[in-house]
Amino acid sequence: KNQVEQSPQSLIILEGKNCTLQCNYTVSPFSNLRWYKQDTGRGPVSLTIMTFSENTKSNGRYTATLDADTKQSSLHITASQLSDSASYICVVTDRGSTLGRLYFGRGTQLTVWP
């Protein structure tokens, strides 16, 4: 069964600290993996997209890594800011059909305290 599991479910850190969010997936055949940030009351916004051949991709203070062999991805946030408080969602796309079906994780709720 194709699944996307994220951990931790929630995380609280102090402003200025770093953190790493995890995403494990069983989706096969794999096409790409995306991380989205969803602020409370808003729609998700894309942070990074990685295909099979990409191991790492950065977007400012956000760095995503991908290990396609172990089917794991991580999102590292450097020097956290209060505005980083949000839900971070991992989304994996399969390439088993023309639809390119998306599998969503439940997200990690990050809270940054001053």
Partner 1 sequence: EADIYQTPRYLVIGTGKKITLECSQTMGHDKMYWYQQDPGMELHLIHYSYGVNSTEKGDLSSESTVSRIRTEHFPLTLESARPSHTSQYLCASSDEKQGTSPLHFGNGTRLTVT
- List residues near partner 1 by CB under 8 A: 4, 9, 32, 34, 36, 41-46, 49, 51, 89, 100, 102, 104-107, 109
CB of 106 to partner 1, least distance (A): 5
Report the residue number, 41 or 114, with the smaller CB distance to partner 1.
41
Q: How far, rounded to the nearest angstrom, does the alpha carbon of residue 7 sit from its chain's CA centroid? A: 10
Q: Report d(CA 82, CA 79) in Å as an integer.
A: 10
> How many CB atoms neighbour CB 27 within 10 A?
21
Tokens representing residue 73 in the block: 């991805």
Q: Which residue type, as a one-letter code, is found at position 48?
A: T
Report the residue number, 77 or 107, with the smaller CB distance to partner 1.
107
CB of 20 to partner 1, least distance (A): 21
Report the residue number, 2 or 18, with the smaller CB distance to partner 1.
2
> How many CB atoms neighbour CB 106 within 10 A?
13
